[in-house]
């Protein structure tokens, strides 16, 4: 046990990176079900696509097993590069709402 495993409610301190479409529902659920924390790469989805993918993860999870969603939030304000790209195309607030509505426990950026 580690502080991280206790905080996240997982068995092993292993986290799947949210690697865009590579980190889809099957891999996310497999990592979480094996005792790590799976992270869905959610930044490239449209709103309803994100909702659908989250629901697919939940269908494959054992009861009570956590997972997260990564949305690739760019740095803004002081120190931000002019080349920063908003991968959510201005839909971050709505994407956060989808995550909350679907019961996602871990937000990764």
**38-41 sheet: strands from edge to edge:** 38-41, 67-70, 106-108
Q: Write down the pLDDT at residue 40.
A: 96
Q: Write down the pLDDT at residue 78.
A: 73
Q: What is the pLDDT of residues 18-49, one digit of tens each?
A: 988 888 999 999 999 999 999 999 988 999 99
Q: What is the pLDDT of residues 50-109, one digit of tens each?
A: 999 999 999 999 999 999 999 887 766 677 666 666 777 788 889 999 999 999 989 988
Q: Write down the pLDDT at residue 106.
A: 93
* Distant-in-sequence, close-in-space partners of 96: CB < 8 Å, separation ≥ 6: 71, 107
* Distant-in-sequence, close-in-space partners of 12: CB < 8 Å, separation ≥ 6: 5, 34, 35, 36
Domain spans of the chain, in order of start? 3-79+100-108
CB atoms within 10 A of CB 61: 18
First-to-last CA distance in the chain?
25
């Amino acid at each position: 046990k580690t502080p991280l495993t206790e905080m996240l409610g997982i068995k092993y301190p292993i986290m799947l990176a949210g690697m865009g479409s590579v980190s889809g529902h099957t891999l996310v659920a497999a990592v979480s079900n094996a005792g790590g924390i799976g992270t869905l790469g959610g930044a490239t989805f449209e709103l309803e696509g994100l909702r659908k993918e989250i629901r697919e993860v939940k269908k494959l999870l054992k009861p009570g097993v956590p997972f997260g969603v990564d949305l690739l939030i760019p740095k803004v304000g002081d120190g931000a590069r002019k080349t920063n790209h908003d991968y959510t195309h201005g839909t971050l607030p709505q994407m956060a709402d989808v995550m909350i509505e679907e019961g996602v426990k871990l937000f990764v950026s």
